[in-house]
A and B are shown apart, each in its own frame.
Chain A
Amino acid sequence: MSEVLVVVEHAAGAVKKVTLEMLTMARDLGTPSAVVFGAPGTAAPLAGKLAEYGAAKIYVAESDDIDGHLVAPKATVLARLVGEVSPAAVLIGSTQEGKEIAARVAVKLDNGLLTDVASLAADGTAKQAVFAGSTLVTSKVTRGRPLVTVRPNSLTPTPAPAAGDLSPVDTAVDDASKLVKVVERKAESKGSRPELTEASIVVSGGRGIGSADNFKLVEEFADLLGAAVGASRAATDSGFYPHQFQVGQTGKTVSPQLYVALGISGAIQHRAGMQTSKTIAVVNKDPEAPIFELADFGVVGDLFKIVPQAAEEIRKRR
């Protein structure tokens, strides 16, 4: 069977969930091979997890050039690897960086590209949700091999242990790949919470939260559910919560099992980022708020009474 290249998303020495989802998806298309990019020493601590989820081979692309520049070196190395192994498909996480790597690889190889793919069949047809999830599209790459970015939370990853043989790849890149230098990285703390785009449960707050201080209520409720915290644009623009956590048209798109919207009216801007969530629960004092149209369960009332009561009730039931 042909190899299927899976570009590994990782952070802080751990494999991100979308990688395990892609390895699971890749097994239906061929033999998964993981591709790890990073500074020297990145791949070793990730190898066990990658092998557990089906990576027969792990291509190791480690260099200071890869770590110290924006995506171009990764694209150069990946395009070369694609040329060498002729994979059945190339799967990349549908994150900002993933899409950008894919963009450059597509140009280098003159290969079609599909982004935000939810599933990929063996014949190369992919499913995508477009226009804020209102339209479902089936599409395929018609020039080159399937080169797709995969939307996080599109399937449930399952283990399937494989060899996970480490295989170093040539990381030499030309000067044109080194035009943008990273001089500093500052991680914004999300505490021990799961990452927003990958979380199974997301609890978001909107204008109705009222202040940055009050967002603690959202965080506490999220922590009780093991959820990530999100915010509407109204809340981030008001400075209640960092922009990085904005869910919506101009922020992150999330598709969790459960989305809890607290004090969010549900402007189209926000709905665009969350309406493909499996289950939606809402608390809002305005019965006319459009968010209720999406809600599987909605409570009309004062969130400052309802949320603490719900938190207390959850603690009681445990």
Chain B
Amino acid sequence: MNIVVLVKQVPDSGSERSLRADDRTVDRASASNVINEMDEYAIEEALKIKEAHGGEVTVLTMGPASATESIRKALSMGPDKAVHVMDDALHGSCALATSKVLAAALATLNADIIVSGAESTDGRVQVMPQMLAERLGIAAVTGARKLTIEGTSLTAERQTEEGVEIVTAGMPAVVSVWDTINEPRYPSFKGIMQAKSKPLTVLSLADLGIAADEVGLAGASSQVVDAAKRPARQAGTRVTDSGEGGVALVDFLTSEKFV
């Protein structure tokens, strides 16, 4: 089985994040950059599929040079090799352009199954699996919290707004996963050492046959025209319960007309 897992480097959601003042793209230079948390579950699921069905796991990342660090970290969990799409012209790409680039890279990888996180913690847009499936003409099974594969068909239990849905699809397919699907492994020392020498292929836009003006800020289909930090919330009244805390809470709710 040829398994590809999508990995994105994002600014750590646990620290201060901001947009750059000049072009209003995500400020990566001043951020602590990490693997998108949900992608660790995707890597784990990809490794589980390999362990059960054989094959090879390839990490696919689009991002600047700094993303190499996240790719090596991903490889240390166990995938066999990685492809890094890197090109200065990609800076500021919208979701549509990103999906065009990733779809072109996927077309060279001949994947049976493409696993991704359900969303990235920076954009939280949740559109990439469907955009890729649309471009590649393959199935997209999103938000899986359980996945089983038999032969060339897969069955997933997916979380919806209303509850749970069971869906089936053939392969190839894009499958996105929530953090309820598994418990990602920690890289072993051996894994960390091996990751340094695993094959890492760097592809440019030219390698993928995509022109520079189709991507990046120049080719973006949407534009951020203004951005401002929201003033931090101010802590309000705080009381320590000495027997009347519940009444104080209701007084507050009443004053705000919720009771």
Binding site for B on A (CB under 8 A): 11, 70-72, 75, 95-97, 99-100, 102-104, 106-108, 110-116, 125, 129-144, 176, 179-188, 195, 197, 201, 225, 243-244, 249-250, 253, 257-258, 268-269, 272, 275, 279-281, 283, 287, 292-302, 305-314, 317
Contacts and interface: CB of A to CB of B under 8 A. Distances in A.
Interface of B: 13-14, 17-19, 24, 37-38, 94-96, 99, 121-131, 133-135, 137-143, 145, 155, 159-170, 173, 178-180, 220-230, 233, 235-241, 244-250, 252-254, 256, 258-259
B148 to A, nearest CB: 13
Given A11-B161, A306-B246, A299 B221 contact: no
Given A11-B161, A96-B161, A107-B99, A308 B222 contact: no
A125 B227 CA distance: 13
B235 A309 contact: no
Contacts of B230: 129, 133-136
Contact of A112 (B139, B162, B222, B246): B222
B222 A107 contact: no
Contact of B229 (A135, A143, A186): A135
A141 B222 contact: yes
A300 B248 CA distance: 11
A296 B237 contact: yes
B126 A185 contact: no
Given A181-B167, A279-B256, A305-B246, A70 B222 contact: no
A243 B159 contact: yes
A243 B161 CA distance: 11
Most chain B beta carbons < 10 A, residue from A70, A103, A294: A103
Contacts of B162: 11, 185, 187-188
A70 B140 contact: yes
Given A96-B143, A135-B229, A296-B252, 7 more contacts: A112-B220, A179-B133, A181-B168, A182-B167, A225-B258, A295-B236, A297-B236
B13 A300 contact: no
Majority secondary structure, A binding face: mixed
Nearest to A129: B230
A182 B17 contact: no
Contacts of A131: 17-18, 122
A115 B96 contact: no
A70 B141 contact: yes
B258 A139 contact: no
B141 A297 contact: no
A106 B123 CA distance: 17
Contacts of B24: 137
B76 to A, nearest CB: 23
A70 B142 contact: yes
Contacts of B122: 131
A219 to B, nearest CB: 17
A292 B235 contact: yes
A138 B230 CA distance: 13
Contact of B239 (A250, A294, A299): A299
Contact of A111 (B18, B221, B229, B259): B221
B169 A181 contact: yes
Contact of B96 (A110, A180, A181, A268): A110
Contact of B13 (A97, A272, A301, A317): A272
B249 A140 contact: no
A298 to B, nearest CB: 4
A244 B159 contact: yes
